[in-house]
Each structure stands twice: as structure tokens, then as C-alpha cells.
Amino acid sequence: MDIVIYHNPECGTSRNVLELIRHMGIEPHVVEYLKTPPRRALVAQLVARMGVSVRDILREKGTPYAELGLDDPSLSDDALLDAIEAHPILMNRPIVVSPAGVKLCRPSETVLDLLPTEGLKPFTKEDGEVVVDSDGRRVR
């Protein structure tokens, strides 16, 4: 299965998603998007494939969101894409691309919506939260 994860190794959610993908026996293509930012057109394509707005993938915490005035509802998608292009940290993470779709995987267990679920093995996140129980059932 071909999976791409737009990943930030400093982010616990992103690390959990990456580990959960690997736990399923899949080695994804990992794009550390702060080192190799996706081009503006690709970000727009990812947003379109997710069926969300550009605003829906903006990250506020730990970014220049407030200083750039990105909370202004009159800003166009083009203006927001320009901001993401100039400051890739503004793109929330992790975004996962799979044959089943594209999703901003927050919380981390939502990545299971994009992966085959047969043969799930128990999985616990870094913080101790159980995602898949000992019977292979997804905990919601």
C-alpha cells in the first residue's frame, strides 16, 4: 500500500500516526514538510482531495498565525496558501495520503480510516492512550 505522510517529527500526534502506519506493516513515504515543503499547488490539491477549506488545515499554535492576521475571515484561500508557502509551519499535521483518501489525522487514530483494518494488533499511543485493544478492536 502506497502511503505518504506529511510529518513533523517534533509533533507527538505526527509521531503517533507514523508509528501506527508502521504498526500496520506499512512503510510510508515520509515527507518532513518543514525540510521539504510541498509546493503551493500540491497543498491546494491536498485540501481539495480532503474536501475541506484551506483554513481548515491552518495551525495556530507555535506558528506566526496571529502575527500574520490569518484569523481575518475575509482572507481568500489564495492568501492563505501564500502564507503556508511562506511559512510551512502553518500547515497542520500530519496529513496522510492513501488509496482510501487524504486526511488531516488529528486525533492520530483517525489514520485508521485510511488503512486496511483487518488483522489489527493492539496499539497504544506515546501518552498511554489505547487506540486498538487486545482483541484488535479500535477504541473510540
pLDDT tens, 70-106?
A: 999 999 999 999 999 999 999 999 999 999 999 999 9
Q: Which helix (H) or strand (E) is 131 found in, with range? A: strand 130-132
Q: Model confidence over 9-37: pLDDT tens digits?
A: 999 999 999 999 999 999 999 999 999 99
Q: Which amino acid is it at 95?
A: I
Percent of the chain with pLDDT over 90: 89
The contacts of residue 74 (CB under 8 Å, 6+ apart) are: none
For 12, what's the count of Cα atoms within 13 Å in the CB-facing half-sphere? 7
The contacts of residue 108 (CB under 8 Å, 6+ apart) are: 13, 16, 17, 20, 125, 131
The residues annotated as belonging to the active site are 11
Strand partners, 30: 5
